[in-house]
A and B are shown apart, each in its own frame.
Chain A
Amino acid sequence: MSLLEIRDLKVRVGDKQILGGIDLKVEAGQIHAIMGPNGSGKSTLAHILAGREGFVPTGGSVSFDGKDLLAMAPEIRAREGVFLAFQYPVEIPGVSNKYFLKAAYNAIRKHKGLEELGAGAFLKLIKERAKLVELDPTLLDRPVNEGFSGGEKKRNEILQLAVLEPKLAILDETDSGLDIDALKVVASGINAMRHPSRSFVVVTHYQRLLDYLVPDVVHVLVNGRIVKSGDKKLALELEEKGYGWIEAQDRERVAQP
């Protein structure tokens, strides 16, 4: 059984059909990259998996670890092991990063039937994980993402990933807005979290993150469909030639069904 199995998934946002039938299978331990031009539906795919309100599935199914993912509330998905690293992490004034992480961590523990972790042990855990992404520990006491730089926000996302230890991590444009040094730090943090039972779906417009985070499979999303899949060489080809040729192929396909 695959960890994630998406079958003919169709999604509407508002009046607009964004995804027109996605098929995707992710095995445990794999990294899949989803690439594609702007507006192709990459972020929609990331958000529908996390349970974002307003994203309406109009057909198809998503099975996660053998369960119907689309039937679960967002918090249940998280507790079952789905994690979305946001492209634009939300600032939450008044809630300390540390408190937020602890509430999330213990909610997941409770769901698994484990005892909640005490304050001391938890502090030790997050400090240790913060080192993975070279996050300034003073940011743990600050309100969630408030006043963080773009790079700090992305590191904070990966810190959450490292603390919550999901089965499936969906990274939505985690590389956007990062300079090359920050990108390396974030990528090495993600690599440190690789595990035979943990899978990654990496949504990205550019190839450069994939220099550090080597995908098993690369998919190209155009107009709400996966039009091509291949190995990591496909990412390099896209980097070199852009998306134009693949969009042209897709137009031909649509014209001659």
Chain B
Amino acid sequence: MTEPGVLAELPESGAIWLRDLRRDALDRFSKLGLPGPSEEDWRHTSVAPIAEGRFRRARLPEAYPEPAFRDWSGSRLVFVNGRYVPGLSSARPGARVVPMSQMLQKDGKELEPWLKETSATGAFAALNTALFEDGAYIEIDGSPVEPVHIVFLSAAQGEPAAAHVRVMIRLSAGSRAVIVEEYLSPGGTSNWTNSVAQIKLSENASLEHIRVQRDGAESLHVGLTEVRQARDSRYASRAFSFGGRLVRHDLDVRLEGEGAECQLDGLYFLKDSDHVDNHTRVDHAKPHTTSRELYKGVLDGVSRAVFNGAIVVRPNAQKISSVQSNKNLLLSSEGLVHTKPEFKIYANDVQCKHGATIGQLSSEALFYLRSRGIDETEARRLLVYAFVGEMVSRVGMAGPRQALAEELWGG
């Protein structure tokens, strides 16, 4: 099957192994085709805007709105329409932070096994492997105190464009880092971003991964974050989504060593006709592993959200502990949430808990605030912020935390 709208010519440059890899991936994509509503994982999210779109290969536009960066210290890699922009980027000592395009040219052999070992077998990931040209490569050894900031800006280039970007993050044994991965697009672009992030934590490594997806109402975004955790490693994901026409994020964490822990925090903050789908999957492959997950959502307008939380406990993965929660706040009568926990437990000595709620602003609380002189708009804003504030406060790094707090407070 062919999908002329989403297919572009394979990038021609690169080593033989890379061209082979791309060709295999493209074959896989052609066999799979784009997912449809008959697939359980895509039941509530239609990829029609992608299937029916005609996307040009993304290029660096002549002009684009330069993002106003806050003054955090640390390395920053900036990509516009999937192309590395050195002028907006800055490297600092302490971590190896390199654009993928440079890695592929110089140190490609280093990447080969890792690119191949991804278990991301879905259609979008295959397409990403076939077509990605740039992205970020980050290697942390030790404990850089400064965060690493990766920014993907999507800008109008005349016609809708597709950017396939790859992020690869590796933390060596015992190292610690904070990485901010940000997707931005100004309103009015109907570009599609297809991202794959592969994250590998060695023994006792610790990563806080702040992923912020802040797209315009017409934007399309499909992302996969694949995390592999060795013994005693700790991974904290803070995933914020501010909507878009079609947004899908798959977060796939495998706890491959005893004592590994993950904390998955998410917030989707939607309005108008946004559609955001979060699929998370935690694979407890070894005993004594821990997962904690809290996703919250706020829906206004006719927005739609999907939350699917899969937890897999392998045979013999005894003494694991898993807690999952999804809480939603509907601000309008037409917002809609599909929430579904999915537990597959093949061990018998485990602790698993889950819960989901969908509610509205409390009329009692609204009246209480108003009876003290606070007007209705402000009272609603206070109560909405009270709901989402918990997710903001979990962000460990002050700069992004402050930015998110202001954005959510203003929204």
> Does B410 belong to the interface (CB within 8 Å)?
no
B371 near A73 (CB under 8 angstroms)? no
B382 near A111 (CB under 8 angstroms)? no
Residues of chain B lying within 8 A (CB to CB) of residue A89: 368
**Distance (whole angstroms) from the CB of A49 to the closest CB of chain B:** 10
Residues of B329-382 whose CB lies within 8 A of A: 362-365, 367-376, 378-379, 382
B372 near A104 (CB under 8 angstroms)? yes
> Does B386 belong to the interface (CB within 8 Å)?
yes
Name the segment of A93-101, A196-204, A230-238 touching the other chain: A93-101
Known: A95-B386, A103-B378, A103-B382. A90 touches B372 (CB 8 A): no
CA A53 to CA B390, docked complex, whole Å? 30
A164 near B367 (CB under 8 angstroms)? no
**Distance (whole angstroms) from the CB of B274 to the closest CB of chain A:** 23
B364 near A94 (CB under 8 angstroms)? no
CA A51 to CA B405, docked complex, whole Å? 32
> Does B385 belong to the interface (CB within 8 Å)?
yes
CA A160 to CA B371, docked complex, whole Å? 11
Residues of chain B lying within 8 A (CB to CB) of residue A52: 367
> Does A86 belong to the interface (CB within 8 Å)?
yes
Residue in chain B with minimal CB distance to A144: B368
A74 near B367 (CB under 8 angstroms)? yes
Residues of chain B lying within 8 A (CB to CB) of residue A73: 370, 375-376
Most buried by A among B371, B385, B386: B371
How many chain A residues touch the partner (CB < 8 A)? Answer: 29
> Does B387 belong to the interface (CB within 8 Å)?
yes
**Distance (whole angstroms) from the CB of A157 to the closest CB of chain B:** 10
Most buried by B among A77, A92, A143: A92
Residues of chain B lying within 8 A (CB to CB) of residue A79: 373
B376 near A75 (CB under 8 angstroms)? yes
What 1/0 mask marks residues of chain A from 45 to 61 whose CB sits below 8 Å from any chain B CB? 00000111100000000
Contact for A84 among B364, B371, B375, B385, CB less than 8 A: B371
> Does A139 belong to the interface (CB within 8 Å)?
no
B385 near A94 (CB under 8 angstroms)? yes
> Does B389 belong to the interface (CB within 8 Å)?
yes
B390 near A75 (CB under 8 angstroms)? no
A104 near B374 (CB under 8 angstroms)? yes
A74 near B371 (CB under 8 angstroms)? yes
Known: A75-B373, A75-B375, A103-B378. A90 touches B364 (CB 8 A): yes
> Does A107 belong to the interface (CB within 8 Å)?
yes
Residue in chain A with minimal CB distance to B387: A94
A78 near B371 (CB under 8 angstroms)? yes
B365 near A108 (CB under 8 angstroms)? no
> Does B383 belong to the interface (CB within 8 Å)?
yes
Contact for A90 among B362, B376, B387, CB less than 8 A: B362
**Distance (whole angstroms) from the CB of A182 to the closest CB of chain B:** 21
Residue in chain B with minimal CB distance to A78: B373
Give me the interface of B with A, judged by CB distance under 8 Å. 362-365, 367-376, 378-379, 382-383, 385-387, 389-390
| Sample of 9 further A-B pairs with CB below 8 A, known A92-B383, A107-B378 | A73-B370, A83-B371, A92-B368, A92-B369, A103-B382, A104-B372, A104-B373, A107-B374, A111-B373
Closest 7 CB pairs of A and B: A94-B386, A78-B373, A104-B372, A90-B368, A74-B370, A107-B373, A75-B370
A sample of 10 inter-chain contacts (CB < 8 A) reads: A52-B367, A75-B371, A77-B371, A78-B373, A84-B371, A90-B367, A90-B368, A92-B386, A94-B386, A107-B373
